[in-house]
Structure 1
Amino acid sequence: MKKISKTKMSKFAFFSMTASLFITVYEYPTFAMSGKSLIFFLLLCGVGWFLPVALCSAELATLEEYQEGGIYSWVGKSLGEKYGFAAIFFQWFQITVGFVTMIYFIIGTISYILEIPELNNDPIFKFISVVSIFWILTLLQLKGTESTSKLAKYGFSIGIVLPVFIMLILAINYFLSGSQISTSFTQSSFVPKLHDASSLTSFVLAYMGVEASATYFSKLENPQKNYPKLLFILVLVGILMSTIGGTIVSMVLSGNISSNQGVMDAITELVSPNNISWPVKLMGLLISFGIIAQVSSWIVSPTEGLQFAATKGLLPESLAIKNRNQVPVKILLVQAIVVTFWAALLTFGSRGAGGNIAFQTAISLTVLIYLSAYILIFISYLVVLLKHKDLKRDFEIPGGKGVKLAVSLVGLLLSIAAVSTAFIIPSSIPKQNGVIYLVLLSACVIITLSFPFVFYYFYSITNQKKLQKRSSYNL
């Protein structure tokens, strides 16, 4: 077997790392609600959003003087430090909401296979479960991330790829044996109708996170040749897996599909209708393991940006301190507290309206926060394209200025469209709970988008001046 230099990343390692950032199972029920339109949405977002994000991020990541600090430098050097801080904050903060979304799915799955509906429907049980799972996984990180990386690798293979493959085989057998395709799927159209526009946010979420791999561009083997190829393969794999999973759930189930238990409902129907048999429980455990591994792998990853911000004086210096295992303990503790807050707000904020409203609010909020960072990335790219075209870079979008402009504008416009559609009440939420959804989502978005700018004005500027004075005294 060919040896790979420690300073270089193999194509398979790069592919696996990037795929594990955005390919997941917990969104399949949300996809399924769109029927045949899920294929249209996944193609639209894959080609019109996923590729622009990946390509623009790759070019920004390899720009001279833009490489340190990731998204902070990409945005900060183009638009100003406060926007760079906001972007890095949004990139980190979205995952604190995303953690709740993922753990909601785990709880829904566990409550299903254990046949304890109270675990998923009772707000108190649900809150305790979310907090317990996350804090346990956080504490496990303090011993280092080596075991976490292994868990993520096996979790992706065993808990995501394998279940989807098994579901595909089961579905083929299910329909060949004479079972009927759900009318919810057959009566839907490939091109979505206007009232289906709210689904766009969920499909954008299916590809979020790919920009994180752009920072490893220089470590990839022969990046100029391999990166575009890997991006193309990732788009195909991402679209294929999401389409297979979402389509199976949509074709098997009819009527209103549970956001956090729809996958298990579909598996039960495929394996043993009306009976939660041991194969169903085994599949539930595998999927839960896959999502737990994803949560675990995300816990430390987004904190690197916050550490960099702390070294610049934008955050307290103590947040950058790591323990002997190179883990930023204080940042992880702050992160766990924030996740606990979101768990309380989203779980109790739904006022017992059921699992769907909290789950859908968490998904929409995750998308809106992350999209705010992506919008800043696209604007920054346009600024670089129009004002700093002479900067040296190791990779650039092929085709010249016209193609670059088109790619970035398509990504920007689709991001803005996704933000707009997030405030359309999803069909999965009963009409009587629509106001709760909009109020809860709007309040969370306003607070989140305002926070980094308020914090920068009242803390970061003052702290930076103190550090400058202290530095001048030491000289």
Structure 2
Amino acid sequence: MNNTNNNITPIAFTALTISSIFTTSNLPTLATSGGHLIFYLILTAILFFIPLAIVVAGLSTTEGYGTNVFSWINYAFGNRIGLASTFWEWLQAIVMSIPMLYFVTGTFSYALSAPEMNSNSLYKALVCIFFYLFLVCLQITEPKFVIKIEAFGFWVCVIGPLIISFILGLIYILKVQSLPFSLNERNFIPSFKTKETLLTFVPFVLSLTGVEACGPFISKLKNINKDFPKAILIVIVTVIFTNLIGSSSIAMIFPANKIDLSTGFINAVDFLFRYFGIPLVFARLIAFFIVLGLLPKVSNWIISPALALQNSAADGLLPKYFIYENSIKTPTHILCYQSFLFVLLALLLSLSKSGNTAFLVAIYLDVAIYSCVYIFIFLSYIKLTFKNKNSKDIFNIPIYLKRAIGFLALFTMFFILVASFLPPSSIPKDEINLYLGILITCFTFVILIPFIFQIFYKNKKAVD
């Protein structure tokens, strides 16, 4: 299926998709898997990322299904579930901003030589809140500035330091000839008898989320059948490779129990620069570059879900109050509510004594919410295979294979959803109840709030 309004090249589509998926904030978490890193990346790509890419392509190029999460789920299950999924995506983006800004704050604290900024839970929360509100203000006043520096920030300020640290890490390993973990055939595949093995999949799934954001651009490729599969192949290889080199540069130096989830990457850079006698001023400069590269990405996570929610309001599914935008088309009312919820969550997570505990709560809560969105995306695809058996697919996949892909992805997401609520062993015993309390309370609130809201809004409309 080709669109006459083609306005995106395969290279631009590939770069856009990669930048929407890859984020360095997950690297320390992935590094804790040690020698199993490659195995988890490959298996997650097979069980989750590749099926998701096929499903997104199938839904985006099927007539009537639209090109975004709301349109897919709305077409399959109606406005109620469609709006709930949009709410979940919006709230998930708020949660996801927490670990991303934890990573930014940890790196920033190193750049300023101010470790207390990262070690003190309240200080860390306040710095995260400052960054978030700063980015919201930029979106309200100068959104074009953020767009201009986003590509440069990602490819130069983020990918550049990853490559430098990986090369230095390889040279270090060749010199010392030792690793913090065993590396042989037997240790390549983890034992599936422990809870930790199941839990490790959760951050790996999170590291490969976001490909659904490319849905609106698929139909704008000149030759979808040829360009999309090639682009996705490049995306898969690039994302796996960048996750691999970024997390490996940490795992090659520190044992899993010594990795700080907020500062793990910059700690690795610091260690390598000290080992090779490189002035630490350059390490601090790299830290500033990383902060500069990640803030536009966080800004993108702030504005994109807000625009999706605004579209729902424009369709009459939310009060007109949420349609309001300023003179440069920024949904300011939604961003104000969004900022309030972020501040509330950041302060709530600051109650934990350990920085890693707060980071893990945010990661597992984010995955649990995201899993619900993906479950309905995959259910929409499965329903499509039964409702429109003769629908054309850009891959020309047989109907039975389409269903197999849909059910495989659906099973994976149910598994990930359940695993998200198992407390990792790295959580201190005296914080397990706090961890589960925050996780379960926030998840229940997020899942129920769109349905409660719709009931009150429907009753209010009836009264009006």
TM-score range, shorter chain: over 0.9
| Cα distance in 1 between the residues matched to 2:358 and 2:155 | 29
TM-score (structure 2 length as normaliser): 0.93
Amino acid across the alignment from 1:218: S
Amino acid across the alignment from 2:296: A
The correspondence of residues 231-242 of structure 1 with structure 2, limited to 5 A, is 231-242=232-243
State the Cα distance separating 1:270 from its structure 2 match: 1.4
TM-score (structure 1 length as normaliser): 0.91
Any conservation in 1 of the 2:136–2:302 contact (CA below 8 Å)? yes
State the Cα distance separating 1:431 from its structure 2 match: 3.1
| Cα distance in 2 between the residues matched to 1:54 and 1:170 | 34
State the Cα distance separating 1:144 from its structure 2 match: 4.6
| Cα distance in 2 between the residues matched to 1:426 and 1:398 | 42
Is residue 289 of structure 1 aligned with residue 288 of structure 2? no
Any conservation in 1 of the 2:225–2:395 contact (CA below 8 Å)? no
| Cα distance in 2 between the residues matched to 1:372 and 1:153 | 30
* Corresponding residue of 1:341: 344
State the Cα distance separating 1:140 from its structure 2 match: 0.8
Amino acid across the alignment from 1:388: N
- Residues 464, 402 of structure 1: alpha-carbon distance in 2 compared, 3 angstrom cutoff: farther
State the Cα distance separating 1:448 from its structure 2 match: 1.0
The correspondence of residues 302-321 of structure 1 with structure 2, limited to 5 A, is 302-321=305-324
Any conservation in 2 of the 1:36–1:185 contact (CA below 8 Å)? yes
Among 303, 327, 332, which residue is 2:330 paired with? 327
Any conservation in 2 of the 1:201–1:422 contact (CA below 8 Å)? yes
State the Cα distance separating 1:455 from its structure 2 match: 1.1
| Cα distance in 2 between the residues matched to 1:109 and 1:287 | 8
Larger mean Cα displacement after TM superposition, 407-416 or 109-118: 109-118
| Cα distance in 2 between the residues matched to 1:253 and 1:25 | 17
Any conservation in 2 of the 1:61–1:217 contact (CA below 8 Å)? yes
Any conservation in 2 of the 1:313–1:464 contact (CA below 8 Å)? no
Larger mean Cα displacement after TM superposition, 406-415 or 419-428: 419-428
| Cα distance in 1 between the residues matched to 2:183 and 2:314 | 52
- Residues 221, 347 of structure 1: alpha-carbon distance in 2 compared, 3 angstrom cutoff: farther
* Corresponding residue of 1:166: 164
State the Cα distance separating 1:360 from its structure 2 match: 0.6
* Corresponding residue of 2:48: 49
| Cα distance in 1 between the residues matched to 2:276 and 2:8 | 47
* Corresponding residue of 1:360: 360
* Corresponding residue of 1:472: none
State the Cα distance separating 1:427 from its structure 2 match: 3.4
Amino acid across the alignment from 1:427: S
> Once the two structures are superposed, what CA deviation does each residue of 1:388-438 show, in whole Å capped at 9, x if it has no partner?
3345x5x44432111111111111111111111112222332233222212
* Corresponding residue of 2:229: 228
The correspondence of residues 126-275 of structure 1 with structure 2, limited to 5 A, is 126-178=124-176, 180-183=178-181, 189-193=187-191, 194=194, 195-254=196-255, 255-273=257-275
- Give the number of equivalent residue pairs: 456
Any conservation in 1 of the 2:169–2:249 contact (CA below 8 Å)? yes
State the Cα distance separating 1:354 from its structure 2 match: 1.5
* Corresponding residue of 1:443: 441
Structure 1 runs of 4+ off > 3 angstroms? 183-188, 273-276, 395-398, 462-466
Amino acid across the alignment from 1:8: N
| Cα distance in 1 between the residues matched to 2:302 and 2:429 | 35
- Residues 274, 128 of structure 1: alpha-carbon distance in 2 compared, 3 angstrom cutoff: farther
> Once the two structures are superposed, what CA deviation does each residue of 1:276-332 show, in whole Å capped at 9, x if it has no partner?
811221221122222212112222112222112102222111212222212111112
Among 105, 110, 113, which residue is 1:112 paired with? 110
CA RMSD of aligned residues (A): 2.2
- Residues 6, 400 of structure 1: alpha-carbon distance in 2 compared, 3 angstrom cutoff: closer
Any conservation in 2 of the 1:56–1:397 contact (CA below 8 Å)? no
> Once the two structures are superposed, what CA deviation does each residue of 1:74-123 show, in whole Å capped at 9, x if it has no partner?
11121122111111111111010111111111111122333322211223
| Cα distance in 1 between the residues matched to 2:316 and 2:126 | 35
* Corresponding residue of 2:459: 462
SS at match of 1:94: helix
SS at match of 1:27: helix
Is residue 298 of structure 1 aligned with residue 296 of structure 2? no
Amino acid across the alignment from 1:173: I
| Cα distance in 2 between the residues matched to 1:380 and 1:443 | 28
| Cα distance in 1 between the residues matched to 2:283 and 2:15 | 27
Any conservation in 2 of the 1:174–1:270 contact (CA below 8 Å)? yes
Amino acid across the alignment from 2:160: L
Any conservation in 1 of the 2:6–2:222 contact (CA below 8 Å)? no
Any conservation in 2 of the 1:313–1:463 contact (CA below 8 Å)? no
Amino acid across the alignment from 2:203: S
SS at match of 1:177: helix
* Corresponding residue of 2:369: 369
> Where in structure 1 are there 5+ consecutive unaligned residues?
470-475
- Residues 219, 435 of structure 1: alpha-carbon distance in 2 compared, 3 angstrom cutoff: same
Any conservation in 2 of the 1:74–1:380 contact (CA below 8 Å)? yes
* Corresponding residue of 1:430: 428
Amino acid across the alignment from 1:157: W
| Cα distance in 2 between the residues matched to 1:185 and 1:145 | 47
Identity of aligned residues (%): 32
| Cα distance in 2 between the residues matched to 1:236 and 1:25 | 16
Any conservation in 1 of the 2:35–2:182 contact (CA below 8 Å)? no
| Cα distance in 1 between the residues matched to 2:218 and 2:461 | 31
Amino acid across the alignment from 1:370: Y
Amino acid across the alignment from 2:64: E
State the Cα distance separating 1:377 from its structure 2 match: 0.5
- Residues 188, 38 of structure 1: alpha-carbon distance in 2 compared, 3 angstrom cutoff: farther
Amino acid across the alignment from 2:357: I
Any conservation in 2 of the 1:159–1:287 contact (CA below 8 Å)? yes
> Once the two structures are superposed, what CA deviation does each residue of 1:248-273 show, in whole Å capped at 9, x if it has no partner?
21111124311111111211221114
State the Cα distance separating 1:209 from its structure 2 match: 0.8
SS at match of 1:236: helix
Larger mean Cα displacement after TM superposition, 117-126 or 450-459: 117-126
Larger mean Cα displacement after TM superposition, 114-123 or 417-426: 114-123
| Cα distance in 2 between the residues matched to 1:440 and 1:188 | 38
Amino acid across the alignment from 2:170: I
- Residues 261, 357 of structure 1: alpha-carbon distance in 2 compared, 3 angstrom cutoff: same
| Cα distance in 2 between the residues matched to 1:66 and 1:264 | 44
* Corresponding residue of 1:473: none
State the Cα distance separating 1:52 from its structure 2 match: 1.2
| Cα distance in 2 between the residues matched to 1:281 and 1:180 | 27
| Cα distance in 2 between the residues matched to 1:296 and 1:188 | 43
State the Cα distance separating 1:226 from its structure 2 match: 0.4
